Chain A
Amino acid sequence: MIGMNVQLLTYLFVGLSFALYIGIAIWSKAQSTNDFYVAGKDVHPIANGMATAADWMSAASFLSMAGLIAFLGKDGSVYLMGWTGGYVLLALLLAPYLRKFGKFTVPDFIGERYYSSFARKVAVLCLIFISFTYIAGQMRGVGIVFSRFLEVDIETGVIVGMGIVFFYAVLGGMKGITYTQVAQYCVLIFAYLVPAIFISILMTGNAIPQIGFGSTLVDSSIFLLDKLDQVTVELGFNAYTNNTKNTIDIFCITAALMFGTAGLPHVIVRFFTVPSVGDARKSAGYALIFIALLYTTAPAVSAFARMNLIDSIQDQSYSTAPQWFKNWEEIGLIAWQDKNDDGVIRYSSGNALEGTKPIYKELRGDYGERLLENKPNQNNANEVYIDRDIIVLANPEIAELPGWVIALVAAGGLAAALSTAAGLLLVISSSISHDLLKKTYMPHITEKQELRYARIAAAIAIGIAGIFGIYPPAFVAQVVAFAFGLAAATFFPALFLGIFYKRLNKEGAIAGMLGGLIFTATYIIYFKFINPGHNIEEYWLMSISPEGIGSIGMLINFIVAIVVSSLTKEPPKEVYEMVDMIRKPL
């Protein structure tokens, strides 16, 4: 399938990176709960910035985002602005104050600020749901990389990945995770930039992809984006640089992603690990620089990939089609159905097949292509099914880059998936051992016992995540909207008002969180699971899709919280003092 060289190189790169992660884990073993939950609170802000970036940039950012934007064009901007703009909110509205508060977890803050163990439990519940949703996605990323590049079963791949995470998360806790994430950031950003720079030079002659995709094509006076607009329109798609979604929906999706990002517990907790309030502010800035490096490169990669993809397959006869096309067809992420029996690949807008995914027969067609059970969709002339997740992985092959670049991308994809999985496992385990056991059900356990429970909880969470990876629930993609929508509709208002609105009492906070949670969850469950046939604009509330509804859930949370709070009694004096304390930096 792929050349022996590429496979050997991939084993080498992945092996070396794994050895590095394990070495770091042994060097940074956690000794106390302070080490385990918040890395001893002495992580340098630049190191924390890198760790936050790796924690944040998941398999979805690394593998899926550029592919998504390649197919969505300007509509894909919601992910770029949404997943970076949240850091401004984090830095200005949450991180410094939560660091000053100085405890271990996000439910910790909610429990103490709203003097309520019920509020704490609601927070733990939301946290576990959000984090497991996320982990399932990481495991799919690990599975794809392993099966395509190392040619092992997805099961074996997931077990190896879990073994590595188990080793450094259970042993090292936050301390081990932090320093491993620093290494993982370096691996993933290098792996992302190298092919992007290569392709930018090949296509535009400019080594900086961010500028390259606004430049003219090599040997031509036509701008790349103009050419892309022209080609996409010719093939029946919408022009690449125009929006197609309605403005209200784009606005709401971007807002839900931004406020959701600022409310994600595994990101917030990273700011608990630095020595001071000033460091928490700086650390958010460094994190965003490191994230922006990938996020400003991604849309360039998308434009290059879309252009290259069309160029390399359109009107090619299948027998002379490039090798990558056939490789990914073998994996089951590309399919070709020769609608007009001319042996030539015709790529245009519309779904080529009936049904969402290709179902392959054992038989081969006249040209060696895999035959499909799916009936051809005769409403359009498109003959090609392409899974969007393959764009980043296939991009170096499509651009005919050397084998070591392909191997590097595999190692980078694994680094992105593993670093995020580890961060999520940590917040799950610490919310169980700290918030549920120590603070609620077993207040008398010693620190040593708490640490042991934290490790047991991490081990169990890894097991569950592994099962998700091997038997991925079919609804993974469907529930991603959930994670951000819920974080925006539950955590963000509770945290923000907790700091900026002293009068908010426990009744208000709990009513607000439940209101936001129930509204958002009901809307998403209705359109995604109960009545997916109605999941189109004419049935949506104010033309807002389930992906964007978290922003309305957030508004509901704010209104309910403030109204209920003003009708019930003031919070106790200690809470006022606590808020005064977290508002002062020193």
Chain B
Amino acid sequence: MDNKSKEYWNSNLKIVSILLVIWFLVSFGFGILFSDTLDQIKIGGFKLGFWFAQQGSIYIFVLLIFAYVNLMQKLDEKISQEEDSDE
């Protein structure tokens, strides 16, 4: 693999890791492990842990995928521009 491809791959891994940390935190973290603690807080009729388990985690999943789409699109454009300017 040339340097450009390595750089691209490493940026990709970084984006994916950060997003997956959030993915883990909102579902396994807020929805399961710390759910009972969060349930002490109430927003409207929802206990917060319950809300993350049945609603919030799902909304954040959607946002995560679109964040990934946008970040990767930018990364793809950056790499193809650099390749163009090399030629």
- A-to-B contact residues, CB < 8 Å: 69, 74, 77, 80-81, 84-85, 87-89, 91-93, 96, 210-211, 213-216, 223-226, 241, 243, 247, 250-251, 254-255, 258, 278, 281-282, 284-285, 288-289, 292, 295-296, 299, 580, 583-586
Contact = CB atoms under 8 A, between A and B. Distances in A.
Contacts of B46: 214, 225
B86 to A, nearest CB: 15
Contact of B62 (A80, A292, A580): A292
Contact of B54 (A77, A93, A255, A258): A77
Contacts of A580: 1, 5
Which applies to chain B's interface (DSSP): helix, strand, loop or mixed? Answer: helix
Given A88-B64, A584-B5, A81 B39 contact: no
B20 interface: yes
A214 B16 contact: no
6 contacts: A84-B58, A223-B44, A226-B45, A251-B33, A285-B62, A285-B66
A251 B47 CA distance: 19
Nearest to B46: A214
Highest count of chain A CB atoms <10 Å: which of B1, B35, B54: B54
B5 A278 contact: no
A140 B5 CA distance: 50
Interface string B18-57: 0110010001100111011001000111110011011101
Interface residues of B, number: 41
B53 to A, nearest CB: 4
Contact of A585 (B27, B62, B72): B72
Given A74-B53, A251-B32, 15 more contacts: A74-B35, A77-B54, A80-B58, A81-B32, A81-B57, A93-B16, A96-B72, A213-B45, A214-B45, A223-B44, A243-B35, A243-B36, A254-B28, A584-B5, A585-B72
Nearest to A287: B65
Interface in B57-75: 57-59, 61-62, 64-66, 68-69, 72-73
A258 B50 CA distance: 19
A69 B35 CA distance: 17
A295 B16 CA distance: 24
A214 B32 contact: no
Contacts of B39: 241
Nearest to B4: A584
B48 to A, nearest CB: 11
Contacts of A241: 39, 47, 50
A252 B57 CA distance: 17
Highest count of chain B CB atoms <10 Å: which of A77, A225, A289, A585: A77
Given A299-B54, A584-B8, A288 B61 contact: yes
A223 B45 contact: yes
A250 B32 contact: yes
Contact of A247 (B20, B32, B65): B32
Contacts of B20: 88, 92
Contacts of B35: 74, 243
A80 B76 contact: no
B76 A288 contact: no
Highest count of chain B CB atoms <10 Å: which of A85, A215, A299: A85
A210 B65 contact: no
Contacts of B51: 214
Contact of B45 (A69, A225, A278, A284): A225
A583 B5 contact: yes
Contact of B53 (A77, A215, A281): A77
Nearest to A226: B45
B59 A278 contact: no
A580 B8 CA distance: 11
Contacts of B16: 92-93
Contact of A292 (B8, B28, B47, B59): B59
Nearest to B83: A586
B23 A247 contact: no
Nearest to A86: B61
B76 A254 contact: no
Nearest to B24: A85
B55 A299 contact: yes
A92 B68 contact: yes
A92 B16 CA distance: 6
Contact of B27 (A85, A224, A285): A85
Contacts of A278: 69, 72-73, 76
B69 to A, nearest CB: 5
A44 to B, nearest CB: 15
B30 to A, nearest CB: 10
Contacts of A213: 45
Contacts of B19: 88, 92
Contact of B55 (A96, A255, A296): A296
Nearest to B50: A241
Contacts of A96: 72
B68 A91 contact: yes
